[in-house]
Copies of this chain bind each other. A is one copy, B any other.
Amino acid sequence: MNQTPDSGFAKIQYKFEKIKSNKAFELFVISIIVISALLIGAKTYPLAPSVQQATLIMDYFITVFFLAEISIRFIADPNKKRFFHSFWNCFDSLIVLVSLVPIDNSEMAVIGRLIRVFRVLRMVSIIPELRILLTSLVKALPQLGYVMLLMFIIFYIYAAVGSTLFSSINETLWGDITIALLTLFRVMTFEDWTDVMYETMEVYPLSWLYYLTFIFLSAFAFLNMVIGIVVNVMEQEHQKARADKLAERGETEPTLSDLKAELAQIKALLEKKHHV
Contact = CB atoms under 8 A, between A and B. Distances in A.
A212 B231 contact: no
B124 A153 contact: yes
Number of copies: 4
- Interface band, chain A: 35 or more
A186 to B, nearest CB: 5
Contacts of A124: 150, 153
A183 to B, nearest CB: 9
Contacts of A231: 233-234, 237
Interface stretch (A50-58, A68-76, A260-268): A260-268
Interface in A7-33: none
A19 to B, nearest CB: 26
A220 B44 CA distance: 27
A118 B157 contact: yes
A208 B241 CA distance: 43
Interface stretch (A78-86, A90-98, A100-108, A222-230): A222-230
A3 interface: no
Interface in A204-236: 208, 212, 215, 220-221, 223-224, 226-227, 229-231, 233-235
Contact of A267 (B177, B194, B266): B266
Contacts of A37: 156
A239 B253 CA distance: 20
A160 B194 contact: no
Contact of A269 (B150, B176, B191, B274): B274
B266 A44 contact: no
Nearest to A264: B262
Contacts of A260: 254, 258-259, 262
Contact of A190 (B189, B258, B269): B189
A88 interface: no
A41 B160 contact: yes
B252 A257 contact: yes
Contacts of A269: 267, 270-271, 274
